[in-house]
Amino acid sequence: MTPQTRAVTTAALGALVAVAGYVSAAGGLGLYPLAAVCAALVVVFAIGWPGLAGLPFVPGSAAVVLLGGVGSVAVVTLTPLPPYLQHLAVVLAGAVVLAFVNELLRRDGRLRLVESVAGTVAGTVLAVCVTGWVATARAPGGASVVVSGAVALAVGSAVVVLDGRAWLVYGVAMAGATVAATGVAWLLPDVGTLAGASLGVGVGVLVTALHALFDRLASLRRRLPSLAVAVLPVSVSGILVYVAGRVFAQVSVTGMMGVLP
């Protein structure tokens, strides 16, 4: 898969998250469309991660990442009261246990044992990050934050593979993500333009950093690792959007308290 194809795939997935977030808020379907999209992203990432990380026992590592990621999406979706990420520690602890069980099931001499455990746990953590989208959408006004962040991700990913000097392309990608998030924040309620611009900058930095980190890996010549890299920015952006949404909410509350008599 070429870098251009991966970037277009990431942009399309970001747009899909934006649509799912908007439908979840306005369509009367609750969180289920967005949760379903996040679970599907986990499945694709779990299948490709062992090949991307060069893990020795592909089926077992993929199963651990899949169970940890899908389980975390289910837990965050079904947690009745905030904070909605409160049970993720339990899911991650269970995934660590499963990572060791995965090693016990190996019959290949358990070569590269430490690397296998570390890579499996790291993949699970990256998959769990996708729950940030769901947790953000559950907060008051969070759907607008989800749409703003996802659109910024889509635009930044589409721009990051343009031809030109790397520093210039990355600058344009960050600028595009910032403008996109600012525009969406201006159109939608509950997100100020300054907050949207800040979110766009953060997402743009993340997209360009991940592109620079993974662009030249030899494993990306294969389809499944390439799909994992295409999904990775969407997954990791989830936790970034969640943190940004919490910060914006806190700043908003503090500002309101400051003007109260």
pTM above 0.85, yes or no: yes
Residue 108 sits at the vertex; the CA angle it makes with 106 and 114, to the nearest 5 degrees, is: 70
Q: Classify the C-alpha dihedral 19-131-173-214 as positive or negative.
A: negative
Give the separation between CA 56 and CA 117, rounded to whole angstroms: 10
Indicate the number of domains in the chain: 1
Range name among 101-105, 122-126, 147-151, 219-223 with the lowest pLDDT average: 219-223
pLDDT greater at residue 81 or residue 153 = 153
Q: Is the pLDDT of residue 253 over 60?
A: no
Chain segment 35-62, per-residue pLDDT in tens: 999 999 999 999 999 999 999 999 999 9
Question: pLDDT grade, residue 143 (50/70/90)?
Answer: confident
At 29 the pLDDT is 66
At 162 the pLDDT is 82
Residues 235-258 have a mean pLDDT of 73
Of 144, 201, 213, whose CA–CA distance to 173 is shortest?
201
Q: Classify the C-alpha dihedral 54-57-59-60 as positive or negative.
A: negative
Question: pLDDT grade, residue 165 (50/70/90)?
Answer: confident
Cβ-based neighbour number of residue 258 at 10 Å = 7
Of 203, 211, 227, whose CA–CA distance to 133 is shortest?
203
At 142 the pLDDT is 85
Give the separation between CA 74 and CA 238, rounded to whole angstroms: 15
Count CA within 13 A, CB hemisphere, residue 89.
2
CB 67 within 8 A of CB 98: yes
First to last CA, the chain: 60
Report CA-CA distances (Å) from 114 to 26, 46, 205: 46, 19, 31
Give the 3-state secondary structure of residue 56.
Answer: coil
Give the separation between CA 152 and CA 164, rounded to whole angstroms: 21
User: In the 8-state DSSP scheme, what is residue 179?
Assistant: H
CB 199 within 8 A of CB 19: no
State which residues form the domain around 188: 3-259
